[in-house]
Chains A and B, each alone.
Chain A
Amino acid sequence: MNVFEELKKIIVEIKDIPEDEIQLEAKFAEDLEADSLDIVEMLMLLEEKFDIQIPEEEAAKLKTVKNVVDYVEAKLQ
């Protein structure tokens, strides 16, 4: 599974924004207008999709789309 593609789908589902606006460099809070509840929703969907667990300490560090892609890819290795 391509992590970036799956993550884009998840963000589209939560924020209802066009997929092509979701760049790797995008910051959740500033660029995607995601609040803390949106982020929690994203984490839950990611965990289900990839069958992983994202601990709170790690979750707190995920600020950009790229952060999440890198984190999930490392986790799937």
Chain B
Amino acid sequence: MFFKTLLCDLLNIEYPLIQGAMAWIAGGNLAAAVSQAGGLGVIGASGAEPAWIKQEIEQVRKLTGKPFGVNLMLAAPGIEKVIELIIQEKVPVVTTGGGNPGPYMERLKAAGIKVIPVVASVALARRLSRLGADAVIAEGTESGGHVGEMTTMCLVPMVVDAVDVPVIAAGGIADGRGFMAALALGAQGVQMGTRFICAEECNVHPAYQQRVIKAKDRDTVICGQSTGHPVRAIRNQFTREYLKSEKMGAGQEELERLGQGRYPAAAVEGRIDEGSVLAGQICGLVNQVQPAAGIVADIISDACQVKNILGGIECQE
């Protein structure tokens, strides 16, 4: 089996499939399993301590010799130390979520690290590609976790038209159909988060995985629109209380207090009613826990089938 796009050459990977970083739960084991299977595994190091990040990097290297990535939140305090560690460890790829990678771009690139920021608008994609981003991840509002306003369907082709670097589509992709749809929009690869929550190697509470599997099409909601940091999660007791407070005009501080620690409560402790079960709209398509290698293989082989089906459509220019 093989599936080659420009992204494979850029990152030296077999399949143009990135496992999206997930804070707290995407550690070295998951990243290694995805990379070993031919995709790009990414350690979710957003806001984590350097000691933990170092340990997870070592874990990946113990399990695979293939390229992997680390995701950083650049707005986090103490980010300087983390950047030093990443450079020292010669991590092959850095993806960035919250915060502007601009100030760190030169140093990371000088160390031979590929920098791939997540973008939710055309202007940001243009700006960061001009600053030297090696590729950009155009992430739609279908995604789990922090979200922007544009849908993947609309954002991806606009970003593709606006930049010269490869574009990776994220948000709402969990099978070979979504994967091929992203390529049809002009993307050179995809990033998936929600489906990898249900990878065996994901360091998440089993109750969280079962909640994702149980979820149907209309089961996610966006909380925190009024804070300027909207987050998509599965509807539960917590989101109902939060949205009620938000609707009644609760202030920033109150909302921050309400949301504090909710994600680890669900992801680590398995408190799926009082916690925040971050997941994307595509959760309705995720229906089993399986090894990460199985997920990668399923996506790629399904994508090949979809390509054949599309090839069978009769048309002519």
Contact = CB atoms under 8 A, between A and B. Distances in A.
Q: Do A and B bind each other?
A: yes
B177 interface: no
Interface stretch (B17-25, B124-132, B136-144, B209-217): B124-132
B228 A44 contact: no
Nearest 5 interchain pairs by C-beta: A56-B102, A41-B123, A37-B121, A40-B124, A44-B123
Interface string A50-64: 000001110110000
Interface string A26-44: 0000000001010011011
Given A56-B100, A57-B103, A37 B126 contact: no
Nearest to A54: B127
A37 B120 contact: yes
A56 B123 contact: no
A35 B124 CA distance: 12
Interface extent on B, as a size class? Answer: 10 to 19
B140 to A, nearest CB: 14
A44 B127 contact: yes
A41 to B, nearest CB: 4
A60 B100 CA distance: 9
B131 to A, nearest CB: 7
Contacts of A59: 102
25 contacts: A35-B228, A37-B120, A37-B121, A37-B123, A37-B124, A37-B148, A40-B121, A40-B123, A40-B124, A40-B127, A41-B121, A41-B123, A43-B123, A43-B127, A44-B123, A44-B126, A44-B127, A55-B102, A56-B100, A56-B102, A56-B103, A56-B131, A57-B103, A59-B102, A60-B100
Interface of A: 35, 37, 40-41, 43-44, 55-57, 59-60
Interface of B: 100, 102-103, 120-121, 123-124, 126-127, 131, 148, 228
B249 to A, nearest CB: 16
Contacts of A60: 100
Contacts of A41: 121, 123
Nearest to B105: A56
Contacts of B121: 37, 40-41
A55 B123 CA distance: 15
A24 B102 CA distance: 27
A55 B100 CA distance: 12
Contacts of B120: 37
Contacts of B102: 55-56, 59
Contacts of A44: 123, 126-127
